[in-house]
């Protein structure tokens, strides 16, 4: 195996949740372009079918299938994993990308709003990791699980207490599960992005990918493609010595300008 081939996911089967747009969609496109078979999933069958159609109509060597799945629904998650194994025979990598958030002061977050965000971001990660992990343990060669957290979960973020709490739990969950799954040849790692120019960020903050200057290293917001590169790294043999880690991808962090006390 050459050094560059260690970054390859050619021939692997990758399940990506929350893949109808943004990071999930771009990741599916990138991995399929490298030869992976990708299972594109979200709550909207129509939207994931659009993603898979574009991949299958391109010259990407990997095949894509669309599976509707709400990660909060265990039966739907089990059906997603079953469909993957039926189509491709195994699950090499699970990308737990599905997530949701809204911005609000803590005092204005209702119990239902809090539970909804925690359910999607944390409980959904649990469902998918456990269902995929069961199938990875039953197959030769184990697999990889790539969870998605956020710098809101590692550093905290104003007006995102519900989201930050759920993502902080995902970071801890990653570390713990990595210990438990290592004997089964399953590597578990996590990516914690900062601001990325996704449709979700654009709708909440009005910043689009076209507004970003990529000429300088001093970057405050990233592109989905830059996160997809990290996913491919963690799904490949190139990251074989990374287990239980959370990689922050946040560009140049702001300098703390708070006055000394």
Residue 20: per-residue pLDDT: 96
Of 163, 179, 181, 241, the active-site residue reads 163
Which tokens is 45 given? 């069958």
DSSP string, 184-250: GTEEEEEEEE--B--HHHHHHH---GGG---SSS--SSB-HHHHHHHHHHHHSGGGTT--S-EEEE-
| Selection from 206, 253, 251, 202 nearest residue 227 by Cα | 251
126 is catalytic: no
pLDDT averaged per 10 residues, the chain (length 261): 85 98 97 98 96 98 98 98 98 98 96 98 98 98 98 94 98 98 98 84 58 67 93 98 97 60 38
DSSP 43: S
If residue 16 lies in a helix (H) or strand (E), which one and from where to where? strand 13-16
Instruction: Give the whole-angstrom CA distance, residue 215 versus residue 203.
Output: 25
Residue 258: per-residue pLDDT: 47
End-to-end C-alpha distance for the chain, whole angstroms: 56
Residue 260: per-residue pLDDT: 46
Let me know: does 63 contact 32? Beta carbons within 8 Å: yes
Instruction: Give the whole-angstrom CA distance, residue 140 versus residue 258.
Output: 53
Residue 216: per-residue pLDDT: 67
Query: Where are the chain's structural domains?
Result: 8-249
Q: Does 8-249 carry CATH code 1.10.760.10?
A: no
């Amino acid at each position: 195996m050459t050094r560059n081939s260690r970054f390859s996911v050619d021939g692997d089967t990758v399940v990506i949740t929350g893949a109808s747009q943004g990071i999930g969609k771009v990741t599916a496109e990138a991995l399929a372009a490298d030869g992976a078979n990708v299972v594109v999933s979200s709550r909207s069958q129509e939207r994931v079918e659009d993603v898979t159609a574009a991949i299958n109509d391109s010259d990407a060597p990997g095949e894509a299938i669309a599976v509707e799945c709400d990660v909060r629904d265990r039966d739907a998650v089990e059906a997603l994993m079953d469909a993957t194994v039926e189509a491709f025979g195994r699950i090499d990598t699970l990308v737990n990308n599905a997530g949701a958030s809204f911005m609000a002061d803590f005092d204005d977050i209702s119990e239902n709003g809090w539970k909804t965000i925690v359910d999607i971001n944390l409980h959904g990660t649990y469902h998918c990791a456990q269902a995929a992990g069961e199938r990875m343990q039953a197959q030769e060669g184990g697999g990889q699980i790539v969870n998605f957290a956020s710098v809101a979960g590692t550093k905290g973020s104003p007006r995102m207490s519900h989201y930050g709490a759920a993502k902080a739990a995902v970071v801890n969950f990653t570390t713990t599960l990595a210990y438990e799954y290592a004997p089964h040849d399953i590597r578990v790692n996590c990516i914690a992005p900062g601001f990325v120019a996704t449709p979700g960020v654009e709708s909440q903050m009005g910043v689009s990918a076209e507004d970003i200057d990529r000429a300088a290293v001093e970057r405050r917001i990233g592109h989905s493609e830059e996160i997809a590169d990290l996913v491919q790294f963690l799904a490949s043999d190139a990251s074989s010595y990374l287990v239980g880690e959370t990689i922050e991808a946040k560009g140049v962090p702001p300098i703390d300008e708070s006055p000394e006390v």
